[in-house]
Structure 1
Amino acid sequence: MSQQTTIRKLAALVNTPVEKLLEQLAEAGMPFSDPDQVVSSTEKVKLLGFLRRTHGKVDKPAAEGDAPKKITLSRSRKQELTVGGGKTRSTVDVVVRKKVTVVRPEAGQEQSPGDERAEILRKLEESKQRNLAEQKALAEADRLRAEEAERVKREAEEAEQRRIAEAAAAQAAAEAGTVPADDDSRKVPPAHGHGHPKAPARTDDRAAPRHKTRGSHVMATGVEDDDRTKRFAGQMHLSAAERARRTNSTRGRAKPRRHPDQSRTGTGFTKPTAPIVRDVAIGETITVADLAQKMAMKGGEVVKALFKMGVMATINQSIDHDTAALVTEELGHNVVRADASDVENELLAHVESVEGDAVARPPVVTIMGHVDHGKTSLLDYIRRTKVATGEAGGITQHIGAYHVETDKGVISFLDTPGHAAFSSMRARGAKLTDIVVLVVAADDGVKPQTIEAIQHAKAASVPLIIAVNKIDKSGADPLRVKNELLEQEVVAEEFGGDVQFVELSAKTGQNVDSLLDAISLQAEFLELKAVAEGRANGVVIESSLDKGRGPVATVLVQQGELKKGDYLVCGVQYGRVRALFDETGSQVEGAGPSIPVQVLGLSGVPDAGDDFVVVEDERLAKDVAEQRDAKRRESRLAQGGNRMEDIMAQLGQGEGQLSLPLIIKADVQGSVQALREALTALSTDAIRINVIGSGVGGITESDAQLASTSKATIIGFNVRADATARKVIETNGVDLRYFSIIYDVIDQVKQVASGILGVEIREEIIGTAEVRDVFRSSKFGAVAGCMVVEGVVKRTKPIRVLRDNTVIFEGELESLRRFKENVDEVRENTECGIGVKQYNDVKPGDQIECFERIEVQRTL
């Protein structure tokens, strides 16, 4: 403690309250009044003596104010010194102890501060002298140890020189013939290395040789057992000065540890191992980077080898199988032909390994026919729902999949579009189905899509059931329909054929039960069976991209049971089933044969019509999907080369072909396929419709950037552009067109492609209202409390309901109110109440879009 310690500091050091310490000082005869007063050393000692007497720790009585006559302070410091080098290096612990004794002067002989300082300096000088003496002793010990090592080294050198001289003399005598042949102890092995004799192989400890070699230098065996002289072995051929220099340079450094299994050469390097030869699987084509990875080599080395062979290829370029095989053999590896169907065969074996008893399954029925002949209305009557009212323009543009419970059992229905552009959907529906119900209007007869549906059914070898609809209308003529179908080789049972005809009315429900009876009878005749247990497989009916749920695929299970948590591969996509939903939106745990469900959890949006297979683990699913994707990418690259040749040929013709680039975005995959096929088919010799991009979901910023770069027109089919995409479109002047009916798209593109100038019907959005809350009314149903965020909303104009930039309903307004008054229009930044006619599923966050169709005269 410092002599300038105050009472407050002393209390903190001894962990005692300041008040208590003041009381103890007063009891000891030292009254203090201020905690900041300084306490001297004498007063501290006096207080300590008082406290010791108070607690009974003093054996003999002491006078008041007595204190110890001297205080001794002991200090010690430990230090490590390293002595020697190499294997003779050792560590010595040096402990320096220091004692300082302070003697209290007698009464009347109080020392001055100068005397105290001189005493402390004297003690420090004594401690310093002791430390110097100890260091000198350590240095002397180190010198003696070094002299001992040098003596041992010198003795070893002398012994080795004598040994070499004796060996040389013995060898000379042996060459001269003076050594007896039976004197094995005098035989010397032939010279090796630098002229030194080569040591024979050791047999046992008693017959150990007197010396052995390490590399090309002689090493003393007898000395190597001594740890202190082992580091001098191998240096006997050097001069004394060189050995001393090397010994001093390596002293104090630890020698690197070598693996005991390493074989050594004369220079100390590890012997090279044999090169690793790999089996490299090569398909039809492979990139240089993938080839280098399979050979565990750097890409630059493979590129260099290709350059030597005369092939100019970059690391990202694809090379054919023959070139890859040549460079692989040149680099010392084996070539294995990669069969593209290896993983597919494993997948097929995986599917065929599922065994079980086949049980009866529900029939899958596809409703087909011409536009507006009542397909969806018939299914609507069976399902007791209103699906047809929600379709744009009153026509079905998606494949709808449903299963219903009837008196005749469970039946799965597929509803296909009737428009000419959806031919691929009808073909896909015919391949998936067991029975085709062909709906023909009794007042309209056989139409082109009716004939096409018959052709699809015959191509798929699926039995037909003819549903003659609309018999309740005044102009109905079922006999006319039967006669027209005779021309298409569809013969009714009453005419001696095998096709069932059912006359019904989807509007009134007349004879709908007879149609269900006909379906059940046909299903019994077909004896439909499937394995209901085990891993499932089936077909993708439709797919889309949901903003909140991600990729969504509607699949039809054909074998086994699809359950939550299964791993499945679906075309070039794979994943794990996170959730299953039926057609009503309810979550289910599993689905058996002939049951359609929506699947969540895929890695991407699969193509409609792809097969899906449930596999055991994710590895196989990922391998199959990646191999399929690579094969598709290779085929696209091959097609790209053909397209380039076509372009060069067109350039050589003089006048190039005009091109109309398009980007198609739709709500489901089936609509994308239908639009692509319908629009591409409009190409002629004069103009070519080029779909440069397509996809599922809303129009994104990347779509707008692509359209701006390629000067393309964006077609949004039941989807909308987000805010960032709209900003890019407005900035760059991109042509963006929204559609909800497919023949409007085809008609407009056909007019532009044919060069016919006419009136263009465009849909112009005049206002957008955001739903803030929904109120229920017994009179009006669901009333949406909205804020008009853009433009103006008019009561007489058609509207669409958007959710996540996707159209979910199109119709008209039932009411438009401001407070309690009906109004004709509501402008921007104004609140209003909107009632949507025949639609009660409006939710907060939806957008109600008001638009009008206008006619615009085409101009050059």
Structure 2
Amino acid sequence: MSQQTTIRKLAALVNTPVEKLLEQLAEAGMKFSDPDQVVTSTEKVKLLGFLRRTHGKDEKSADAAASPKKITLSRSRKQELTVGGGKTRSTVDVVVRKKVTLSRPAEGAGEGGGGDERAEILRKLEESRQRNLEEQQRLAEADRQRAEEAERAVREAEAAREAERLRAEQEALAAAEPEIDADAPVAHKAGGHGHPKAPPARTEGREAPPRGKARGKGSEDGGNRFAGQMHLSASDRARRTSARGKPKSRRQGDQSRTGAGPHGFSKPTAPVVREVAIGETITVADLAQKLALKGGEVVKALFKMGVMATITQSIDHDTAVLVTEELGHKAMRADAEDAENELLAHVEDVTGEKVARPPVVTIMGHVDHGKTSLLDYIRRTKVATGEAGGITQHIGAYHVETDRGVISFLDTPGHAAFSSMRARGAKLTDIVVLVVAADDGVKPQTIEAIQHAKAAEVPLVVAINKIDKSGADPSRVKTELMGQEVVSEEFGGDTQFIELSAKTGENIDALLDAISLQAEVLELSAVSEGRASGVVIESSLDKGRGPVATVLVQQGTLSKGDYLVCGVQYGRVRALFDETGSQVEAATPSIPVQVLGLSGVPDAGDDFVVVDDERLAKEVAQQRDAKRRESRLVAQAGNRMEDILAQMGSGEGQQTLNLVVKADVQGSVQALRDALTALSTDDIRINVIGGGVGGITESDATLAATSKATIIGFNVRADASARKVIETHGVDLRYFSIIYDVIDQVKQVASGLLGVEIREEIIGIAEVRDVFRSSKFGAVAGCMVVEGSVKRSKPIRVLRDNTVVFEGELESLRRFKENVDEVRNGTECGIGVKEYNDVKPGDQIECFERIEVQRTL
């Protein structure tokens, strides 16, 4: 501490607030008004004596014996020093820690002696600070010296390498000298790489050697020594300039590029004109790479043309052609099938030995003829109970292990709206099992399934179901099928007929034997090694897992980590799951699996192919997406023109019902779109303006609001932001879980039939907070009613991530320990769901009622 210590520094040293220190100085009789005023040693001693007297510690008191014998002061100082220069510049952190121990003054010393002792303490502290500063300077000087030594070593190494290179060049010139004409100009000898007029290099600020001296040195052994001396002097000047860290002069740089020396190159006599293949769109970076230019030069040329584009943006074909010609190159249109041809060659390269594979069997037939029940008996699971209305609404893919080997089953919907699903299932399959109820006979969807099987040239196996019922008549079924050219073997045909019961399990083994026999006749085989290929059976958008595609592998082995292109989507396989939800590492031919990792939701029926890298997959997917977008725009333009002509021809014009369709899987979206569009008449046209997979989002609600459309949610729900837009604009939102309810309601409106329609109105939503186990009711959900009210007598649905996972009714509704009939908003309650024990925290229990509403057009 120096004699120029201020009050602020003294407060920091003794760890006391500045205001408190000013008060203590004032009480001691010293008036200070500014914390930056200087405190002398005498004033410090006076303050110390005042404080000791205040606390009852007189210098002459006997209590002084109890005071500490020693005082230890610790100080730490951190400082940054910059050493070196240029590339070797670095910053060094210097931390100095100092610890000083001071002894108590000897007994019997008076007040004057105490003052001398404190002055001695201050002096020692000042000396310590000076020593710390000297130590820091010494460390900084040492670091600077080390940096200079390292920089000097680098310069010496560079100089040694340059000298070695010059020595090698001189030896090469000396070896080539006998072949050079002695009368040729010296500059021509030195520039023997296409530059006969290359001048000798000069360094700015330094004169070239006198011509006479150079000739004198070269007179002994001719022009070789003269040329070598010229070359060495120029290189030596370049080396010395680089060693000092100064840039080369322009003339010297030109000389090094134009190349006096064996490593020079020939300057092109004419500009290089490249032919660049350009597709419909191309990014600025890709165009610059094809032109062998920097991206900034292409961006600059675009700016001059008035196109403001960055290096990562895409430009159209015409703009790319103009900028290419502006830069002096030729543009040509790229073949749109380049990526597809590369993919085709990629697939054809996969060859291998074919081995036997399991058969793929599709279950087809009319609604409620027992297709899913038959498959359930084979799989020993209950799938039909989870479908709304007891009918199948998706394509289910399963593989089971039987005594006769592995068989893969595809269960298709039987409803009329799912014709495209049945057609897709017939194309994927090896054998079609046509299920016909013995008490119902041949129905329209039965005939349609036969037509799909014949169009796909797939053999049929007829399963006559429900023979255990009292009204069963198998002979009637056989007779009706003969009218559809499906003849039983007992009548001289080639189709196997099996009479069975999916309920009791009668003759199920006979059906499996018939399938195995048919598979042996077909001699099914596939390449099991190599890159996989197959077809998308179904796809959906999961909130937690993203796009999920159910695929059927037809060739090769699909493994985790493979890159694949799937329609207009691509990606890398992150995980594979079988139909039970278990994760698998690979899938062989005829095995259906769920794939995670795609860039989007592919369309059902799209082919997928595994490729080597992501680049090819991305290019193919982008080209396919561009083609699909162009065709869609052309089709939409045609529709708009037709609409205008139709409105011009008719006085009133055709009414249009706009719909936005959202469903839980891609197949349902396609089925709803096709079924609703087919309901159009001369008076009203059903126009599906939007649709997709997943919950109803804010963008869907905005689209419906702007186009005055009705939103149809099939097994999905709207999120909070979408509900806000729907309530603000009064958008008509309707939820459905059974497809024929959708078709019936839209058909009634489109046909102009007035009457009473049944709507589902949500009256309350309860959020599950926790789940408790009860011996009487099973899983009991502890809930908080967040909207409306929950009534015991009304049906409910269980929602998970805005998707319906169960529909049923309440088994119990309790408030504390009492059974109640209704629980209102903001109230806690306990809910027991009947025949469903998989309720989880975070689920929503939706209470609704079906009401009759007078419908008007």
TM-score by length of 1: 0.70
Is the 8 Å Cα contact of residues 701 and 724 (structure 1) preserved in structure 2? Answer: yes
Structure 1 match to 2:550: 554
**Candidates 525, 550, 568, aligned match of 1:529:** 525
| Local SS of the residue matching 1:262 | helix
Correspondence list, 1:110-125, <5 A: none
The amino acid across from 2:777 in the alignment is: F
- Post-superposition offset of 1:689: 1.6
- Post-superposition offset of 1:426: 0.3
Distance 1:581 1:200, change over 3 A: closer
The amino acid across from 1:451 in the alignment is: I
- Post-superposition offset of 1:259: 6.7
Correspondence list, 1:231-270, <5 A: 257-258=249-250, 260-262=252-254
The amino acid across from 1:683 in the alignment is: S
Distance 1:273 1:574, change over 3 A: farther
**Candidates 727, 731, 751, aligned match of 1:734:** 731
- Post-superposition offset of 1:544: 0.5
Aligned equivalents of 1:255 and 1:573: distance in 2?
52
- Post-superposition offset of 1:784: 2.2
| Local SS of the residue matching 2:789 | strand
**Candidates 32, 48, 54, aligned match of 2:113:** 32
**Candidates 826, 829, 841, aligned match of 1:844:** 841
The amino acid across from 1:776 in the alignment is: R
| Local SS of the residue matching 1:765 | strand
Say whether residues 1:431 and 2:427 are aligned partners: yes
Structure 2 match to 1:855: 852
Is the 8 Å Cα contact of residues 281 and 314 (structure 2) preserved in structure 1? Answer: no
Distance 1:409 1:259, change over 3 A: farther
Is the deviation greater in 642-651 or in 544-553?
Answer: 642-651
Structure 2 match to 1:620: 616
Is the 8 Å Cα contact of residues 567 and 614 (structure 1) preserved in structure 2? Answer: yes
Correspondence list, 1:551-590, <5 A: 551-590=547-586
Aligned equivalents of 1:360 and 1:288: distance in 2?
47
CA deviation vs aligned residue, 1:478-525 (integer Å, no higher than 9, x gap): 111111111111111111000011111111111111111111111111
Structure 2 match to 1:494: 490
The amino acid across from 1:846 in the alignment is: D
Aligned equivalents of 1:770 and 1:708: distance in 2?
29
Structure 2 match to 1:801: 798
- Post-superposition offset of 1:336: 3.8
Aligned equivalents of 1:611 and 1:380: distance in 2?
28
Distance 1:491 1:260, change over 3 A: farther
| Local SS of the residue matching 2:722 | helix
Say whether residues 1:407 and 2:403 are aligned partners: yes
Say whether residues 1:762 and 2:751 are aligned partners: no
Higher-Rg structure is 1
- Post-superposition offset of 1:607: 0.8
CA deviation vs aligned residue, 1:701-734 (integer Å, no higher than 9, x gap): 1111111112111110000001111111101111
Aligned equivalents of 2:729 and 2:506: distance in 1?
57
Structure 2 match to 1:780: 777
The amino acid across from 1:260 in the alignment is: Q
Correspondence list, 1:108-187, <5 A: none
Is the 8 Å Cα contact of residues 544 and 667 (structure 1) preserved in structure 2? Answer: yes
Is the 8 Å Cα contact of residues 5 and 39 (structure 1) preserved in structure 2? Answer: no
| Local SS of the residue matching 1:683 | coil
Say whether residues 1:485 and 2:481 are aligned partners: yes
| Local SS of the residue matching 2:485 | coil
Structure 1 match to 2:414: 418
Say whether residues 1:752 and 2:761 are aligned partners: no
Aligned equivalents of 1:601 and 1:807: distance in 2?
24
**Candidates 79, 92, 103, aligned match of 1:19:** 103
Structure 1 match to 2:826: 829
The amino acid across from 1:19 in the alignment is: S
- Post-superposition offset of 1:418: 0.6
Aligned equivalents of 1:470 and 1:424: distance in 2?
27
Select the structure that is richer in helix: 2
Is the 8 Å Cα contact of residues 468 and 503 (structure 1) preserved in structure 2? Answer: yes
- Post-superposition offset of 1:401: 0.5
Say whether residues 1:342 and 2:334 are aligned partners: no
Is the 8 Å Cα contact of residues 415 and 445 (structure 2) preserved in structure 1? Answer: yes
The amino acid across from 1:258 in the alignment is: R
Say whether residues 1:592 and 2:588 are aligned partners: yes
Distance 1:775 1:19, change over 3 A: same
| Local SS of the residue matching 2:103 | helix
Aligned equivalents of 1:532 and 1:40: distance in 2?
90
Say whether residues 1:688 and 2:685 are aligned partners: yes
Structure 2 match to 1:138: none
Is the 8 Å Cα contact of residues 539 and 555 (structure 1) preserved in structure 2? Answer: yes
Distance 1:539 1:280, change over 3 A: same
- Post-superposition offset of 1:659: 1.8
Percent sequence identity is: 74
Correspondence list, 1:265-414, <5 A: 275-283=271-279, 285-286=280-281, 298=298, 332-414=328-410
Segments of 5+ residues of structure 2 without an aligned counterpart are 5-39, 49-70, 76-97, 129-136, 138-183, 191-198, 214-245, 258-266, 308-312
Is the deviation greater in 256-265 or in 494-503?
Answer: 256-265
Structure 1 match to 2:457: 461
Is the 8 Å Cα contact of residues 768 and 843 (structure 2) preserved in structure 1? Answer: yes
Is the 8 Å Cα contact of residues 818 and 832 (structure 1) preserved in structure 2? Answer: yes
Distance 1:538 1:316, change over 3 A: closer
Distance 1:765 1:24, change over 3 A: same
Aligned equivalents of 1:534 and 1:658: distance in 2?
55
**Candidates 453, 461, 470, aligned match of 1:474:** 470
Segments of 5+ residues of structure 1 without an aligned counterpart are 49-74, 76-198, 206-211, 227-253, 266-270, 308-314
Aligned equivalents of 2:704 and 2:621: distance in 1?
30
Aligned equivalents of 1:680 and 1:495: distance in 2?
42
Aligned equivalents of 2:108 and 2:533: distance in 1?
96
CA deviation vs aligned residue, 1:634-653 (integer Å, no higher than 9, x gap): 32333344344334434543
Distance 1:272 1:654, change over 3 A: farther
Is the 8 Å Cα contact of residues 562 and 592 (structure 1) preserved in structure 2? Answer: yes
- Post-superposition offset of 1:352: 2.5
Distance 1:259 1:841, change over 3 A: farther
The amino acid across from 2:588 in the alignment is: G
| Local SS of the residue matching 1:636 | helix
Distance 1:359 1:291, change over 3 A: closer
Aligned equivalents of 2:212 and 2:735: distance in 1?
94
Distance 1:776 1:366, change over 3 A: same
Distance 1:304 1:521, change over 3 A: same
CA deviation vs aligned residue, 1:464-485 (integer Å, no higher than 9, x gap): 0111111111111111111111
CA deviation vs aligned residue, 1:110-145 (integer Å, no higher than 9, x gap): xxxxxxxxxxxxxxxxxxxxxxxxxxxxxxxxxxxx
**Candidates 698, 701, 704, aligned match of 2:698:** 701
Distance 1:213 1:850, change over 3 A: closer
Distance 1:527 1:767, change over 3 A: same
Distance 1:37 1:589, change over 3 A: closer
The amino acid across from 1:849 in the alignment is: E
CA deviation vs aligned residue, 1:420-452 (integer Å, no higher than 9, x gap): 110110010001111000111111111111111
Is the 8 Å Cα contact of residues 288 and 319 (structure 1) preserved in structure 2? Answer: no
Is the deviation greater in 792-801 or in 256-265?
Answer: 256-265
Structure 2 match to 1:120: none
Is the 8 Å Cα contact of residues 581 and 588 (structure 1) preserved in structure 2? Answer: yes
Is the 8 Å Cα contact of residues 683 and 689 (structure 1) preserved in structure 2? Answer: yes
CA RMSD of aligned residues (A): 4.1
- Post-superposition offset of 1:287: 7.3
Is the 8 Å Cα contact of residues 288 and 302 (structure 1) preserved in structure 2? Answer: no
